């Protein structure tokens, strides 16, 4: 079948919850993807920040093949070696003390919320606690994660959601401070807001929130699902600041394509939060995903991926700055590491630009209606940034005529 026929079947069989691009992707190599019709694309989305090592990494693939031949699943009634080793390396990379592996980022957020509530319950002997989240945030589609997602459009059809959530303005400390009550048990935020428009936390803001949490024994939950695993130039974006979370959530590039997430916590939180019977998962932390996480962390450490990100992200920043200066339709440029965004003027739809980019062999995604989001594999080189620049420059020039 050709791509048109595949897409016809998909529209007949799959639930229409995604407005997909009219492309059927088939294979990948390095930082390029190919579709079923043989067309090649430069990938600057990485599966929404997932495929940090690019495509066709032989060492990663071999580790998964070897684990398939050994053991895929045991349940959490038993230990397994790959996930034990993976937890050890993840603790080393993050500086956290305890790890719980989940199947997705949303599940990691759910676990983090439960851990924070149980911590407060253990400390004070009662429930009825509140969480402060940020406006324009995104933490996932499940009920708990959606409850702390600060976008009314995602929430309105599913009300009432989990109660006891207050929303503050990201990067405005006073707004957070005003929401704190004697019921506040946690503050959750993305270190870099992704879906909300690629906004890094300002240093004064994040450090102020962390200090506030420390003073009032409020748990700081940092969502590193999209911005973590080396994308900021550090293994986790909060490591660019003088802070440390009480609970951290990770996913996406944690498995580089294998569905896996995790929430991590300090020993202080672990001692007073989730105990046997409080939380669980059938698939989470199985030997297969453990092998994936273990190999990803080994490769990232050995190949100094964060150092490469620091170097190449500066080059990407300069190329995007050139586009901003050259094209009047570009209003702003922001981000950190290999998580950057170009905000377009109100009369230029980011979705239109991404569609044209696809036609020109460049995969770009958006953040909201007017931001182009750049989340390439962490292994891109300067020539890939140049290739992206050439395609996008041509598209923007055509649109400005």
State pLDDT tens for residues 292-335.
Answer: 999 999 999 999 999 999 999 999 999 999 999 999 999 999 99
**DSSP code of residue 55:** B
Domain assignment of residue 9, yes or no: yes
- 3-class DSSP state for residue 223? strand
At 6, list the tokens. Answer: 């595949």
> How far apart, in whole angstroms, are the C-alpha atoms of residue 311 and residue 324?
21
Check which CATH number belongs to the domain holding 207 and give it.
Answer: 3.40.640.10
pLDDT tens, 88-147? 999 999 999 999 999 999 999 999 999 999 999 999 999 999 999 999 999 999 999 999
What is the separation of C-alpha 118 from the centre of its chain, rounded to a whole number of angstroms?
25
Handedness of CA 314, 316, 321, 322 (dihedral sign): positive
Same domain assignment for residues 86 and 19: no
Backbone φ and ψ of 284, nearest 5° = -55, 130
Q: Is pLDDT above 90 for 369?
A: no
At 319, list the tokens. Answer: 């190329």
Same domain assignment for residues 312 and 208: no
Q: At what angle do helices 287-302 and 305-326 cross, to 10 degrees?
A: 80
Domain assignment of residue 76, yes or no: yes
DSSP H helices, 161-237, are 173-179, 203-216
**DSSP code of residue 104:** S
Domain assignment of residue 203, yes or no: yes
pLDDT tens, 327-364? 999 999 999 999 999 999 999 999 999 999 999 999 99
DSSP for 256-276?
Answer: TTS--EEEEE-HHHHHTS--T
- What is the mean predicted confidence (pLDDT) over 17-42? 96
For residue 361, give the nearest of 31, 41, 122 by alpha carbon: 41
Tally of structural domains, the chain: 2
Domain assignment of residue 165, yes or no: yes
> How far apart, in whole angstroms, are the C-alpha atoms of residue 69 and residue 81?
15
For residue 101, give the nearest of 275, 269, 264 by alpha carbon: 264
Please confirm whether the linkage preceding 61 is cis (ω < 30° from 0). Answer: no
Same domain assignment for residues 292 and 354: no
Q: pLDDT band at residue 165, thresholds of 50, 70 and 90?
A: very high
- What is the mean predicted confidence (pLDDT) over 139-165? 96
pLDDT attached to residue 257: 97
Q: pLDDT band at residue 1, thresholds of 50, 70 and 90?
A: confident
Domain assignment of residue 339, yes or no: yes
Same domain assignment for residues 176 and 226: yes
User: Which residues, including other chains, have CB under 8 Å from residue 127's CB and lie 6 or more apart?
Assistant: 117, 121
Residue 14 lies in domain? 3-57+304-400
Percent of the chain past pLDDT 70, that is, above it, reads 100
pLDDT attached to residue 368: 85
Domain assignment of residue 64, yes or no: no
Q: Domain boundary residue among 302, 332, 361?
A: 302
Same domain assignment for residues 100 and 181: yes
Residues 82/285, Cβ–Cβ less than 8 Å: no
Q: Domain boundary residue among 243, 271, 302?
A: 302
Same domain assignment for residues 24 and 78: no
> How far apart, in whole angstroms, are the C-alpha atoms of residue 370 and residue 365?
11
Same domain assignment for residues 291 and 308: no
- What is the mean predicted confidence (pLDDT) over 24-33? 98
Same domain assignment for residues 43 and 89: no
At 193, list the tokens. Answer: 């807001």
Q: Domain boundary residue among 284, 302, 320?
A: 302
Same domain assignment for residues 173 and 127: yes
Domain assignment of residue 244, yes or no: yes
At 314, list the tokens. Answer: 């500066």
**Residue keyed to tokens 């009480």:** 246
pLDDT attached to residue 400: 85
Same domain assignment for residues 276 and 143: yes
Domain assignment of residue 340, yes or no: yes
Same domain assignment for residues 264 and 139: yes
Residues 178/146, Cβ–Cβ less than 8 Å: no
User: Which residues, including other chains, have CB under 8 Å from residue 10's CB and lie 6 or more apart?
Assistant: 20
Residues 291/64, Cβ–Cβ less than 8 Å: yes
**Residue keyed to tokens 């957070």:** 176
pLDDT attached to residue 349: 95
| Dmax (CA) of the chain | 66
Same domain assignment for residues 35 and 127: no
pLDDT tens, 107-120? 999 999 999 999 99
Check which CATH number belongs to the domain holding 359 and give it.
Answer: 3.90.1150.10
């Amino acid at each position: 079948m050709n791509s048109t026929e595949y897409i016809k079947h998909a529209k007949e069989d799959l639930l229409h919850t995604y407005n997909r691009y009219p492309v059927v992707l088939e294979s990948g190599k390095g930082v390029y993807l190919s579709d079923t019709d043989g067309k090649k694309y430069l990938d600057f989305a990485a599966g929404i920040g997932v495929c940090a090592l690019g495509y066709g990494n032989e060492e990663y693939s071999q580790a998964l093949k070897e684990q398939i031949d050994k053991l895929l699943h045991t349940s959490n009634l038993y230990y397994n070696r790959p996930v034990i080793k993976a937890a050890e390396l993840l603790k080393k990379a993050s500086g956290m003390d305890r790890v719980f592996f989940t199947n997705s980022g949303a599940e990691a957020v759910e676990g983090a919320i439960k851990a924070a509530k149980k911590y407060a319950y253990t400390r004070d002997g009662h429930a009825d606690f509140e969480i402060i989240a940020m406006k324009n945030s995104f933490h996932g589609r499940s009920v708990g994660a959606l409850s702390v997602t600060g976008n009314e459009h995602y929430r309105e059809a599913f009300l009432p959601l989990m109660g006891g959530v207050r929303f503050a303005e990201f990067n405005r400390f006073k707004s957070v401070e005003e929401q704190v009550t004697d019921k506040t048990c946690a503050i959750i935020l993305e270190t870099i807001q992704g879906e909300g428009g690629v906004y890094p936390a300002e240093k004064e803001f994040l450090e102020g929130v962390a200090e506030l949490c420390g003073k009032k024994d409020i748990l700081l939950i940092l969502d590193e699902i999209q911005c973590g695993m080396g994308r900021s130039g550090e293994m986790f974006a909060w490591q660019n600041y003088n802070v440390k979370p009480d609970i951290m959530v990770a996913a996406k590039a944690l498995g580089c394509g294998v569905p896996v997430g995790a929430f991590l916590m300090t020993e202080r939180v672990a001692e007073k939060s989730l105990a046997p019977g409080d939380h669980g998962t059938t698939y989470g932390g199985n030997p297969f995903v453990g092998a994936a996480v273990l190999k990803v962390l080994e490769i990232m450490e050995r190949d100094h991926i964060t150092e490469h990100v620091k170097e190449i992200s500066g080059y990407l920043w300069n190329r995007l700055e050139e586009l901003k200066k050259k094209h009047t339709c570009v209003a702003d440029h922001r981000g950190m590491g290999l998580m950057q965004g170009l905000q377009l003027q109100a009369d230029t739809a980011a979705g239109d630009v991404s569609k044209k980019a696809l036609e020109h062999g460049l995969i770009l995604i958006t953040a909201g209606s007017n931001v182009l989001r750049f989340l390439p594999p962490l292994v891109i080189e300067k020539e890939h940034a140049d290739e992206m620049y050439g395609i996008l420059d041509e598209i923007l020039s055509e649109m400005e005529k």
